[in-house]
Amino acid sequence: MTVYRSRHVLRGPLTPDRIAAVSLPLTRRGRRGYRVDEVDALLHRLAFELQRRTRERDETRAENQRIKGALRAWQAEQWTYQAP
């Protein structure tokens, strides 16, 4: 199986704004192609999903940092409590 490559494909990291702004070229008359409204709907759904997952990832990272900070504080407290 080969990977599709095109000059028109997004380069760099995908962001919701970049996905939503994608404009695919139309096919010539008489040739097969995709329905523009369906492609646009898919791109909007992808942008929404990417935005939601990015937000969840950022929230998870923030929670992880909060838990690490609390653990470090607790460990420091235990160390000073046990020190003679």
Instruction: Supply the DSSP string of the chain, one letter for each residue.
Output: -PPP--TTS--SS--HHHHHT--PPPPPTTS----HHHHHHHHHHHHHHHHHHHHHHHHHHHHHHHHHHHHHHHHHHHHHHH--
Within a domain: 31: yes
- What confidence score (pLDDT) does residue 67 get? 98
- What confidence score (pLDDT) does residue 27 get? 72
pTM above 0.75, yes or no: no
Per the structure, the complete domain to which residue 53 belongs is given by 16-82
- What confidence score (pLDDT) does residue 4 get? 47
Per-residue pLDDT of the chain (84 residues; tens, 9 = 90+): 455 455 555 677 778 888 888 777 777 776 677 777 888 888 888 889 899 999 999 999 999 999 999 999 999 988 886 756
